[in-house]
A and B are shown apart, each in its own frame.
Chain A
């Protein structure tokens, strides 16, 4: 049993900034992360990428500040636990995690918990989306980040949002055989002038980066299709083509990879596991943890920071992580609370917020069921189809957990990570009830029985 003041879940920008502040104030601090090295998704394998010249040229723009943030957390004395999967947590700060490097389950007890588990890509179900070769565009980027793996064979990208535009540029630069982009958005999405002005003023760098990416798509010598309908991934053992209507004409484009991305949503598995309150963000079409400005949740010594508290992007994540940690210091060691630093961070957060609002306005979330038919699998783990869920909702399953019990949708090993948010929104819409969160059960990820045997028994 490891007893600490602060346990931080996630070593991305938010977690690292939080660790720097908490450990810097003399609080014993551990950071758990499922990856082997700190950095999170945005700064994945930061050390390797910044050392490898070719990779740095390809990916480097996103890695600004990574090594500094990692170094600062380490210098402050935060203890990093790499390759650790959180298995269970409760509102009293008790944690159980799987230590993959050393094997076995470990127990911890923290006085405060900072959940900085970031974002994950929104699931986009459509006929054939379970075929091997259909993957998240983010997963393609992960492959690039971990050793520069470029997808072999013809590639099609589909969806919308800044990450998709970035992956498009990175795949082209890496020499991928990109055949088409199926765009959910317009060529130049329109925005109100006021929103643009505030964003440019607050975070000119981010706005410039966005403009570059949009231009990049226009300049890329890749056909872009819009108004996609009747989409289907076609294939036997894996995807062989993507078929769809565009401009009322049927298209079929052969490919071995279809990279899909429709924006990111907060990863709320941990706060759902903790049984804490979530609310539905109707504009962003996602569940977000209910917390105050500093990330403090109600009913437990739990703070949430970074994209996991609501999508804000990497730069804002660092600020939010630091702010949450300042609030933890104020709660646990009030005499060491650095009020001026906390106030300065509040101003920075206010300055960065409009740019993120602009991103949200440019790429509004779509109806997650826009591309499905009754035969489309919704829950990949349990093989539950859209029609089955539709029937259960019609028969009175008013709430995601009731639909889950009625259909097994969300009951598999992924615990509804993929289908849960869609199910929640859908059930709420069809039954005119508030959107609720699926109950998440431990273990958060499948664990070998043998690993449980390392735990103290009672």
Chain B
């Protein structure tokens, strides 16, 4: 029997996270093979709303996303083609006194953590920045250097850059298991095994299944975040807009279309790997948007969609080495807000694979936080 084909690093999952990792590792001189069960970017990556947001992040993620932001500004140049990034700012408006108080509390929390990127805007400052926002709004929390990018353009750019860097991308090749094999790991697929020195689990909503197979289960729930897009409208909003206490994320793309989402969940059929939006929730989402922006009154909705994303129990990603199989590094479960982190995760995981300490601390995202062992360690 001939020896199994080999690669230096195998990446499980051909979404944006997997491609970013594959690119960074290949640039470090390693041979990289990406195993994608369906097509590149099939689920969360192509369903993304494209938000590049550090505003109102979980405290554990703030340092990470603030480190990712500068990379977006240079990403098109780095990848050799456009990603549609625009530092439009992101705002979270307050529609009543309670919301205003909540935003002020949030701003104080971020300040106490030593960050200065979140800034309160009063009513006048909000309307000066966003003249199109409804007059009942009382203020907003702003991150001026946040923005958005075009997820499909980003996907194209990463794919092309990875291929140029020599990454092999295997589509329609789901990974069935990982097996220790002497000093390496065999990646098992339906068409045979591939030996690798190291493996990265970037399988998104299915990353938990890989971890479970390694004996370190992580609860990852597949969720389908709903999004809708309008036909082009005259420009009426500059930044990406959310609203405190409401489910909304709204942005107007360069072509005038408006993308409206905000954590409404569609129907997920996990076995068929399909998600579909629910129209009553689309209606609720659009009602919130229209309440905030009178200019949306004549809008036409041309498409709604939902894509499957992996939600971890604490809505934070799992990033770091496996505790049960040396040579495996996890990077999955980004819980609906991984897009902004994409340019950073690749280099960080590449650093880990080279045995270096990542330049941004990842200890809070270690997989051991889900096991009892972590408690044992903490209280020892």
Docked CA distance A408–B253 (Å): 15
Contact between chains at A405 and B155 (CB < 8 Å): yes
Stretch at the interface among A121-129, A147-155, A189-197, A450-458: A450-458
From 390 to 424 in chain A, residues with beta carbon under 8 angstroms from any chain B beta carbon are: 395-396, 398-399, 401-402, 405-406, 408, 411-413, 415
Contact partners of A442 in chain B: CB under 8 A: 276-277, 279, 282, 303-304
Contacts of B163 in A (CB 8 A): 395
In whole angstroms, how far apart are the Cα atoms of A441 and B283 in the complex? 15
B276: A residues at CB distance < 8 A: 90, 275, 442
CA distance A458 to B288 in the complex (A): 12
Given A402-B40, A405-B155, verify A449-B286 contact (CB < 8 Å).
yes
List chain B residues, Cβ under 8 A from A457.
280-281, 283-284, 287
Q: Which residue of B lies closest to A401 (CB)?
A: B39
User: Could you say which residues of chain A place their CB within 8 Å of the CB of B46?
Assistant: 405
Does chain A have a CB within 8 A of B297?
yes
Determine whether the beta carbon of A441 is less than 8 Å from that of B281: no
Residues of B within 8 A of A443 (CB): 301-304
Chain B residues, Cβ within 8 Å of A415: 303
**Could you tell me if A408 and B152 are in contact, using CB atoms closer than 8 angstroms?**
yes
CB distance from A42 to the nearest CB of B (A): 29
Verify if A448 is at the interface (C-beta below 8 Å from B).
yes
Task: Tell yes or no: A144 within 8 A of B by CB.
Answer: no
Complex alpha-carbon distance, A443 and B279, angstroms: 9
Q: Which residue of A lies closest to B151 (CB)?
A: A405
Partner of B299, one of A87, A412, A448: A448
| Chain B interface mostly | mixed
Taking the closest CB of chain B, its distance from the CB of A162, in whole angstroms, is: 34
Q: Which residue of B lies closest to A411 (CB)?
A: B303
Q: When chains A and B are docked, how far (Å) is the Cα of A204 from the Cα of B282?
A: 52
Distance between B132 CB and nearest chain A CB, rounded to angstroms? 15
Give the distance to chain A from B50, nearest Cβ to Cβ, in Å.
Answer: 14
- Residues of B contacting A406 with CB < 8 Å? 152, 156
Please give the distance in Å from B83's CB to the nearest CB on chain A: 14
* In the complex, A446 has a CB within 8 A of chain B: yes
Interface flags, A27-57, vs B, CB<8A=1, else 0 = 0000000000000000000000000000000
Q: Is the CB of A449 within 8 A of B41?
A: no
A447-B284 in contact given A442-B277, A458-B278 (Cβ < 8 Å): no
The answer for the CA separation of A295 and B276 in the assembled complex, in Å, is 25
Q: Are B282 and A452 in contact, CB atoms less than 8 angstroms apart? A: yes
Closest chain A residue to B274 by CB distance?
Answer: A275
A449 touches B299 (CB 8 A): yes
B171 and A398: CB pair below 8 A? Answer: yes
A46 to B112, CA, bound (A): 73
B156-180 contacts to A (CB < 8 Å): 156, 159-160, 163, 169, 171-172
A96, CB-defined interface residue at 8 Å: yes
A residues within 8 A CB of B290?
Answer: 449-450, 453
B300 at the interface (CB under 8 A from A): yes
Size class of the contact patch on chain A: 20 to 34
Within the complex, which residue of B40, B277, B297 is in contact with A450, where a contact is CB–CB below 8 Å?
Answer: B297
B231 an interface residue at 8 Å Cβ cutoff? yes
Given contacts A398-B171, A453-B286, contact A441 B305 (CB under 8 A): yes
Proximity string of chain B (259-301) to chain A, C-beta cutoff 8 Å, 1 when within and 0 when not: 0000000010000101011111111101101100000111111
Contact B301 A447 (CB under 8 A): yes
Contacts of B171 in A (CB 8 A): 396, 398, 402
Q: Is A213 interfacial (CB-CB < 8 Å)?
A: no
CB <8 Å contact, B284 and A458: yes
Q: B87-114: which residues lie under 8 A (CB-CB) from chain A?
A: none
Chain B residues whose C-beta falls within 8 Å of the C-beta of A411 in the assembled complex: 303
Interchain CA distance A163-B59 in the complex, whole Å? 66
Q: Which residues of B282-330 are within 8 A (CB) of A? A: 282-284, 286-287, 289-290, 296-305
Contacts of A455 in B (CB 8 A): 279-280, 283
| Interface residue? B238 (CB, 8 A) | no
Residues of A within 8 A of B209 (CB): none
Q: Are B279 and A448 in contact (CB under 8 A)?
A: no
Q: Which residues of A contact B272 (CB under 8 A)?
A: 275
Q: Does A105 contact B (CB under 8 A)?
A: yes
Whether B230 sits at the interface, judged by CB under 8 Å, is yes
A455 to B279, CA, bound (A): 8
| Contact assessment for A396 and B169 in the assembled complex, using a CB-CB cutoff below 8 Å | yes
Kindly state the separation between the CA atoms of A107 and B280 in the bound complex, as whole angstroms.
Answer: 10
Closest to A275 in B: B274
Q: Give CA–CA (A456, B171) in the complex, Å.
A: 41
A384 to chain B, nearest CB (A): 12
User: Considering the chains assembled together, what is the distance between the CA atoms of A69 and B20 in angstroms?
Assistant: 60
Contacts of A448 in B (CB 8 A): 298-301
A446–B159 alpha-carbon span in the complex (Å): 32
Instruction: A48 to B156: give the CA distance in the assembly, Å.
Output: 52
CB atoms of A446 and B169 under 8 A apart:
no
| Chain A 263-277: CB-based contact to B (< 8 A → 1; otherwise 0) | 000000000000100
Is B300 a contact of A449 with CB atoms below 8 Å? Answer: yes
CB pair B279 A449 closer than 8 Å: no
B314 to chain A, nearest CB (A): 26
Residue A88 is within 8 A (CB to CB) of chain B in the complex = yes
* Residues of A contacting B274 in the complex (Cβ-Cβ under 8 angstroms): 275
> Can you name the residue of chain A whose Cβ is closest to the Cβ of B288?
A457
Cβ of A380 to closest chain B Cβ, rounded Å: 14
A87 B279 Cβ-Cβ under 8 A = yes
Interface digits, A426-450 against B, CB 8 Å rule (1 contact, 0 not)? Answer: 0000000000000001110011111
Q: A441-B305, A448-B299 are in contact. Are A453 and B231 (CB under 8 A)?
A: no
- Assuming the contacts A275-B274, A449-B230, A449-B299, asked whether A456 and B40 have C-beta atoms less than 8 A apart, the reply is no
Among B160, B267, B301, the residue within 8 A (CB) of A449 is B301
Nearest to A448 among chain B residues (CB) is B300
Q: List 14 A-B contacts (CB under 8 A).
A: A275-B274, A408-B152, A413-B303, A441-B303, A442-B303, A446-B300, A446-B301, A448-B299, A449-B298, A449-B301, A450-B298, A452-B283, A456-B283, A458-B278
Additional pairs, 11, CB under 8 Å, beyond known A396-B171, A442-B279 = A88-B279, A395-B163, A396-B40, A401-B39, A441-B277, A441-B305, A442-B276, A442-B282, A443-B303, A455-B279, A455-B283
6 tightest A-B CB contacts, nearest first: A458-B280, A457-B284, A455-B283, A449-B299, A413-B302, A446-B300
